[in-house]
Structure 1
Amino acid sequence: MDDLLTSANRILEKNWNGNYTIPAKSLYPHQWSWDSCFTAIGNSYVNTDRAIKELQYLINAQWKNGMIPNIVFDEKEKSYFPSTDFYEIKRSENAPENISTSGITQPPVHSIACYYIYKNAKDKTKGLRFLEKNYQNLKKFQNYLVTNRDPENSGLTTILHPWESGMDNSPIWDEPLSNIVIKDLPEFKNTDKKIVERSKASRTDEEDYKKLLYLLELMKQNNYDEKKIYSKFPFKIKDVLFSSIFHVANKYLVEIANIIGEDTKEIERWIAQTEKNFYKYFLSDEKEFNSSEDNLFFDYDLIQKEWIKKKTVASFIPIYTGLMSKEDVQNFVKWIKHSHFCTNNGFCHVPAVPGADTNEPYFNKSNYWRGPIWINTNWMLWIGLLKYGFKDEAEVIKSAVFELVKNHGFREYYNPTTGEGIGGNDFSWTAALVIDMIKRNGNEI
């Protein structure tokens, strides 16, 4: 464990650019929102100042309406596409001044990461000042997600683009994207061609990629006016993973409010809304939930008014929320252990949970979010299992993660059949979350 910890810390050190930690050199040269949050969680154990600086840099890019963007761009880096020029965020009156960002968001891990910084800081006064400085920004982001992104008053977040989910090319988006007709897409020059070509077998196909750019183009045409966008946008999904993290983040926000002496009533109302509607929106048949492996949690398509019944790792992330009953979690554990999610079928290299059900036609062992093992989703499952007292099952996942990084490197994601590392080398959030799995003392909120 000492060697593993040293290696993980070395990667975070290497990827630090003075303001934030890049996810992986050459492949991802900018600051990504939930990447930085995961990285700050790892750094909270070993470098409080760096964790604070990373999240402060991200929060400083917050839009006036509360949105924290999924990318903060380094304008010196021109290799990544879509670049800051493509987003044209100055069309929006809410865009930050003198900071280049994208025009979409990402899962709200921010309150969680900020609490970690305070909890693990040796200098609690420094941690407290950081919370006091940023509490209103964190609350404003959560409020944005429960208002602008939830006019249904469900307590669940609507995403307007697959990239907002963090699971960019998941099978979940296949059907919603298939219903989108591109009416007008300006020509674009992908300056990332060399990297894309190297990763062609493990990335989004060209037709879907055009639709992803078309969704951004529609946002630009509406000047990022979310009321206009929401009323007529062709892609609106209540997302299980995003909403699960949103709920956990609200619980951490309550904890932060208690630490600094702020009122929590409004946040508690958000939490109650989520608790009321989570099963309603994400279970197609709540009565039959425990009787069939087909009854998992699924995203809900607001355009088609139906569930997107794709069996992916997102279906299990609700275990992270604390919203499930012990009985429901017990059934989850059975499914994870004996269904087609990598254990007891002789198919997988280690018993970590892959991106999709290995028996489904959309499973692809090397394609990004369509099959490979990701450390951040397994980290959430590990925490969820610990919350409900399934220590042995949690240990299985943790041991699987450690085997992957020890023998196959700190990679972006992993082939579930061989363990081979794929995507970015020396990937920051993999290193950061391994640090947390080694050093964590006690369960989460």
Structure 2
Amino acid sequence: MKLSTYQNTAKEILKINDFGGYTVPTKGLYPFQWNWDSAITALGWMYVDEKRAWKEIEMLIAGQWQNGMLPHIIFHQESDTYFPGPDVWGAGEKLHSTSISQPPIVASMMLEMAAIATDKPLLESKLKAMLPAIVDYHLWWYRDRDPQNTGLVSSYHPWESGMDNSPAWDDALAAVPQVEWEYQRRDLNHVDSDQRPHKAQYDRYLYLVDFFKKSNFDPQIIYQNCPYKVQDIGIIAMLYKATLDLLTLCQQFKIEHQGLDQLSKELELTEQAIDQLWSDETQFYHSRNTITNELCLDQTSAGFMTVYAGLSSPEKTQILTECAQTWANSSQYSLASTIPSSEKYEPQRYWRGPIWLHINWMIAQGFEKSNQNFIAEKLQQDAKALLKESGFFEYFHADSGQGCGGDNFSWTAAIALHWILK
């Protein structure tokens, strides 16, 4: 198939999943607007319709809470194909939403969008209108999720990480009680069970949803009592990178906000604290259980986000480069989301092994900026091979290349347009 044919397919997927200003990740399985999905999808829309691309971010901001949080899901309209819906969450202010967020990559995607924008007056007007809301969002992360000013924000739910059933969360999640009420999952109506999280994990996911609601979404009560608190290396690195990118945009477009100086201070705190998440034992960056103060020693691709963010020292970047090379060569396609040598590696099950192209794009960016082009090129070549092998799936079996999860997936189409189909 010709390159132009793949490009046209990717553009059609975005149009198929367009719900009038926001893009669902894929119909049926994910029928609402997801935070980091939309940020990446907006980048893809730049290759179709720039005005529509900025509308994607506007619709995300429409669900912003007064405290600055951008929710992980915004329920713009009703759907019976997803659980848990707005009735279970009981959250939202201007719009029904969830009460947690997701990896804060929107500012980084806006910087990418600005770099390729052809309509400069539209670009400037949209950024001046939207960037203050994104500053508020970052201030929320640092204020509500790091009230002790450690430089390392905490996540309160595995869904917030975007990497829902990562092996890194196993121990922290095991300490969460299981929900006692009966429920009916909807995801298994769309995807084989061997590609999705187990019920025992879902029981705990839902307990946390109940906990937030019973706490009246009060940030102090939740911080003090939440049974799941993790300093997620992926979120920390992506937040750091996005804050750098946000400050760059604000300077470039002369955005004034009283919180900008605070964001600069937060970057310094993270730089000083990041090596607390380095393990001399594994020679790798890990998340940390904030409750027990123990590192989550499972090795997942989130650890490479420190290279993407520019947070790892040259010495540690070299160590991570060698690790990534071995890791990439340990499965047929690279880079698996869990290191293939782990006993927890499952190459088909959601975040326990499969390949996610948007994550690998960010990792490739980091290694490219570190002059480790051979890894960046391998990740790009394997991503292209997966598209040719299986099409535009949500994620991919790291050994067989089989498409897994949802098909006709928006962020896969977006990353294809921006990174793979060049």
Q: Quote the Cα distance in structure 2 between the aligned partners of 1:3 and 1:332.
A: 36
Deviation of 1:44 after TM superposition, in Å, equals 2.2
Q: Quote the Cα distance in structure 2 between the aligned partners of 1:46 and 1:35.
A: 17
Where does residue 378 of structure 1 map in the other structure? 360
Asked whether 1:106 is paired with 2:108, we answer: no
Deviation of 1:267 after TM superposition, in Å, equals 2.1
Where does residue 292 of structure 2 map in the other structure? 304
Q: Give the residue type in structure 2 aligned to 1:254.
A: L
2:29 touches 2:187 (CA, 8 Å); kept in 1?
Answer: no
Q: Quote the Cα distance in structure 2 between the aligned partners of 1:337 and 1:317.
A: 15
Where does residue 349 of structure 1 map in the other structure? 332
Q: Quote the Cα distance in structure 2 between the aligned partners of 1:66 and 1:433.
A: 27
Deviation of 1:355 after TM superposition, in Å, equals 1.3
User: Aligned ranges for residues 197-346 of structure 1 at < 5 Å?
Assistant: 198-262=191-255, 264-280=260-276, 282-285=277-280, 294-338=282-326, 341-343=327-329, 345=330
Specify the SS of the correspondent of 1:219.
helix
Q: Quote the Cα distance in structure 1 between the aligned partners of 2:185 and 2:264.
A: 45
Q: Give the residue type in structure 1 aligned to 2:42.
A: A
Identity %: 31
1:399 maps to which of 381, 385, 410: 381
Q: 1:181 to 1:76 in 2, by over 3 A?
A: closer
Q: 1:248 to 1:193 in 2, by over 3 A?
A: closer
Specify the SS of the correspondent of 2:19.
coil
Asked whether 1:163 is paired with 2:145, we answer: no
1:177 touches 1:235 (CA, 8 Å); kept in 2?
Answer: yes
Where does residue 186 of structure 2 map in the other structure? 192
Deviation of 1:191 after TM superposition, in Å, equals 5.8
Where does residue 52 of structure 2 map in the other structure? 50
2:22 touches 2:33 (CA, 8 Å); kept in 1?
Answer: yes
User: Aligned ranges for residues 62-211 of structure 1 at < 5 Å?
Assistant: 62-89=64-91, 95-97=92-94, 99-182=95-178, 185=179, 187-190=181-184, 192=186, 195=189, 198-211=191-204
Deviations 1:234-271 (A, max 9, x none): 11100000011100110111111112213543221121
1:45 touches 1:121 (CA, 8 Å); kept in 2?
Answer: no
1:357 touches 1:371 (CA, 8 Å); kept in 2?
Answer: yes
TM-score by length of 1: 0.90
Specify the SS of the correspondent of 1:262.
coil
Q: 1:439 to 1:406 in 2, by over 3 A?
A: closer
Q: Give the residue type in structure 1 aligned to 2:184.
A: N
Deviations 1:31-80 (A, max 9, x none): 10000001111222332111111110011100011110000114331210
Deviation of 1:193 after TM superposition, in Å, equals 6.3
Coordinate RMSD, CA, aligned? 1.7
Q: 1:45 to 1:439 in 2, by over 3 A?
A: farther
Deviations 1:108-149 (A, max 9, x none): 011112223333221111111111111111000000000100
Where does residue 417 of structure 1 map in the other structure? 399
Q: Give every structure 1 segment of 4 or more consecutive aligned residues whose post-TM-superposition deviation is greater than 4 Å.
A: none
Where does residue 20 of structure 1 map in the other structure? 22
Where does residue 443 of structure 1 map in the other structure? none
1:45 touches 1:120 (CA, 8 Å); kept in 2?
Answer: no
Q: Quote the Cα distance in structure 2 between the aligned partners of 1:308 and 1:392.
A: 29
Q: Give the residue type in structure 2 aligned to 1:81.
A: F
TM-score by length of 2: 0.95
Specify the SS of the correspondent of 1:307.
strand
Deviation of 1:342 after TM superposition, in Å, equals 3.6
Q: Quote the Cα distance in structure 1 between the aligned partners of 2:398 and 2:42.
A: 27
What runs of 5+ residues in structure 1 fail to find an aligned partner? 90-94, 286-291, 441-445
Q: Give the residue type in structure 1 aligned to 2:105.
A: V
